[in-house]
């Protein structure tokens, strides 16, 4: 056993789920404890191999991959108060009233008088537009708006429902229920009908079946655009 190579047996943690060899390599026992006692010829070969390995790849013995959660992106904080670099700004009150163009110092004095912050809201305008408001509340509302936009974008995903030219009644009802759930959640539904063999020569009947499917939905849905035709079959995009 490798633990016989050293008198300091506390080096090896047998309660861990790693193997003794991996634990031995990971802690770089050979480099930390050069005075090891060799008991068997096989142990001598392992000892020489590990010394050679650590000599060529010293960084590999202690490197362990760590997975860290990525920080959530935060909205960029606009220039505020003394951070504003321009000398002239167009000032807007908290209620939206236009206060005109003035110097940065005059705007800061007005913000201090009202107990608010001076925040740039249109940096690319000429001159830049600043507003009197609470920057903390402004950033909170901005994060809240971004979260709503993210939920809205996620809810507008396109879901697919596939039926066949000869779909049975049971499967037909399952597909109807599935499409209704997607529409209820705010998704768009791509309804596909795969056609095989002689079915490809009956496109008019296939399109009629798809329209019957749309009519049978318990949730009102409308067809976006026209019926798409491809070598594999027909496609319809549904939305509420």
DSSP states along 144-211? HHHHHHHHHHHHT-EEEEEEETT--HHHHHHHHHHHHHHHHTT-EEEEEEE--GGGGG-HHHHHHHHH
| pLDDT above 50 (res 22) | no
| pLDDT above 50 (res 10) | no
Residues 182 and 227 both lie in one domain = yes
What local confidence, expressed as pLDDT, does residue 72 receive?
64
What local confidence, expressed as pLDDT, does residue 33 receive?
46
According to DSSP, the residues that pair with 224 across neighbouring strands are 237
Would you say residue 35 lies in a domain?
yes
**Which residue segment(s) compose the domain that 189 sits in?**
155-239
Residues 159 and 134 both lie in one domain = no
Q: When comparing pLDDT for 149 and 134, which is higher?
A: 134
What local confidence, expressed as pLDDT, does residue 113 receive?
86
| pLDDT above 60 (res 5) | no
Would you say residue 159 lies in a domain?
yes
Give CA torsion, residues 98, 101, 103, 109, to 10 deg.
Answer: -20
Residues 32 and 90 both lie in one domain = no
What local confidence, expressed as pLDDT, does residue 73 receive?
65
What CATH number does the domain containing 111 carry? 3.10.20.80
What local confidence, expressed as pLDDT, does residue 145 receive?
83
Residues 178 and 124 both lie in one domain = no
Question: Which ranges in the chain belong to alpha helices (H)?
Answer: 20-26, 29-32, 41-56, 104-114, 135-155, 169-184, 203-216
| pLDDT above 70 (res 27) | no
Q: What is the DSSP letter of 80?
A: B
**Helix pair angle (169-184, 203-216), 10° resolution:** 60
According to DSSP, the residues that pair with 193 across neighbouring strands are 163, 234
**HSE-CB for 155 with a 13 A CA cutoff:** 12
pLDDT digits (tens, 9 = 90+) for 139-152: 888 888 887 777 66
What local confidence, expressed as pLDDT, does residue 42 receive?
53
Find all residues with CB under 8 Å of 229, minimum gap 6, and list them.
Answer: 203, 235
Would you say residue 48 lies in a domain?
yes
What CATH number does the domain containing 199 carry? 3.30.110.10
| pLDDT above 60 (res 14) | no
Q: What span, in angstroms and rounded, lies between the C-alpha atoms of 92 and 90?
A: 7
Q: Residue 234 CB: number of other CB atoms within 10 A?
A: 20
Q: Of 161, 165, 168, which Cα lies nearest the Cα of 199? A: 165
- Number of domains the chain contains: 3
Q: When comparing pLDDT for 202 and 39, which is higher?
A: 202
Residues 135 and 163 both lie in one domain = no
Would you say residue 174 lies in a domain?
yes
Q: When comparing pLDDT for 169 and 3, which is higher?
A: 169
Q: When comparing pLDDT for 41 and 110, which is higher?
A: 110
Q: Which of 154-163, 164-173, 186-195 is predicted least confidently?
A: 154-163
Would you say residue 177 lies in a domain?
yes
pLDDT digits (tens, 9 = 90+) for 40-92: 455 556 666 766 666 665 555 455 555 566 666 666 778 888 888 888 889 88
Q: 119 with 131: CB under 8 angstroms?
A: yes
| pLDDT above 60 (res 204) | yes
Q: What span, in angstroms and rounded, lies between the C-alpha atoms of 165 and 157?
A: 26
């Amino acid at each position: 056993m490798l633990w016989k190579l050293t008198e300091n047996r506390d080096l090896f943690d047998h309660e861990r789920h790693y193997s003794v060899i991996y634990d031995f390599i990971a802690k770089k026992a050979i480099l930390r404890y050069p005075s090891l006692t060799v008991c068997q010829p096989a142990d001598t070969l392992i000892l020489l191999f590990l010394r050679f390995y650590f000599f060529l790849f010293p960084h590999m013995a202690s490197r362990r991959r760590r997975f860290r959660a990525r920080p959530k992106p935060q909205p960029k904080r606009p220039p505020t108060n003394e951070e504003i670099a321009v000398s002239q700004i167009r000032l807007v009150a908290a209620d939206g009233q236009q206060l005109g163009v003035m110097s940065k110092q005059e705007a800061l004095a007005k913000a201090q008088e009202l107990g608010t912050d001076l925040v740039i809201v249109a940096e690319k305008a000429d001159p830049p537009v600043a507003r009197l408001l609470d920057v903390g509340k402004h950033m909170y509302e901005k994060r809240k708006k971004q979260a709503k936009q993210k939920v809205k974008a996620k809810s507008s995903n396109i879901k697919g429902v596939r039926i066949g030219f000869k779909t049975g009644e049971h499967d037909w009802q399952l597909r109807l229920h599935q499409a209704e759930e997607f529409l209820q959640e705010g998704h768009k539904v791509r309804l596909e009908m795969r056609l095989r063999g002689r079915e490809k020569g009956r496109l008019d009947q296939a399109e009629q079946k798809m329209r019957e499917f749309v009519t049978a939905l318990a949730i009102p849905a409308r067809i976006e655009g026209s019926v798409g035709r491809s070598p594999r079959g027909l496609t319809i995009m549904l939305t509420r």
